[in-house]
Amino acid sequence: MKPVVECVLLVACLVPLYSYLIYPLMMILLTLPRWAARAAGGHGSEVSAAPVPLPVAVVVAAHNEAAHVAALVASLRALTGVGGLRAYIGSDGSTDATVSRLQLMPGEDLRVYAFQENRGKASVLNDLVAASSEPIIVFTDANTLLDTDAVARMLRAFADPRVGMVCGELLLSHAGDGDNIDGLYWRIERWLKRAEARLGGLLGANGAIYAIRRECYVPLARDTIVDDFCVGMNIAARGWRLVYEPAAVARELAPPDIRDEVGRRIRIGTGNYQACFRHPEYLWSAGPVTTFTYLSHKVLRWFTPHCLLIVLLGSALLARDAPFGLLLVLQLAGYLLCALAYAAGKRLRLPTLLRVPLFLIALNAALAVGFWRYLTGQYGGSWRRTQRG
**Residue range 137-153, pLDDT digits in tens:** 999 999 999 999 999 99
Residue 75 and residue 82: Cα distance in Å, rounded? 14
* CATH code (residue 262): 3.90.550.10
- List the one residue out of 270, 375, 360, 316 whose CA is nearest residue 5: 316
Give the per-residue pLDDT at 262. Answer: 79
Q: Which residues lie below 8 Å from residue 8, measured CB to CB, with a gap of 6+?
A: 310, 314
Residue 298: CA atoms inside 13 Å, Cβ hemisphere, count? 28
pLDDT grade, residue 209 (50/70/90)?
very high
pLDDT at 178 over 80: no
pLDDT digits (tens, 9 = 90+) for 313-357: 999 999 888 888 999 998 998 888 878 777 766 655 666 666 677
pLDDT at 49 over 70: no
Give the per-residue pLDDT at 42. Answer: 43
- Indicate if the alpha-carbon torsion angle 283, 287, 292, 294 is positive or negative: negative
Q: Contact, 131 vs 146, CB < 8 A?
A: no
pLDDT at 381 over 60: no
pLDDT at 221 over 50: yes
Mean pLDDT across 100-107: 92
Mean pLDDT across 87-98: 94
pLDDT at 12 over 70: yes
Give the per-residue pLDDT at 93. Answer: 93
Query: Number of folded domains in the chain?
Result: 1
Residue 71 and residue 207: Cα distance in Å, rounded? 18
Give the per-residue pLDDT at 174. Answer: 63
Q: Contact, 360 vs 301, CB < 8 A?
A: no
pLDDT at 282 over 80: yes
Q: Which domain, by its residues, includes 299?
A: 1-389
Mean pLDDT across 202-214: 93
> What is the residue-averaged pLDDT of the chain?
86
Share of the chain above pLDDT 70, in %: 85
Element (H, E) at 169: strand 163-174
Give the per-residue pLDDT at 127. Answer: 97
Q: Contact, 92 vs 62, CB < 8 A?
A: yes
The two beta strands, 145-146 and 163-174, are: unpaired
pLDDT at 57 over 50: yes
The DSSP symbol for 221 reads: P
Give the per-residue pLDDT at 258. Answer: 63
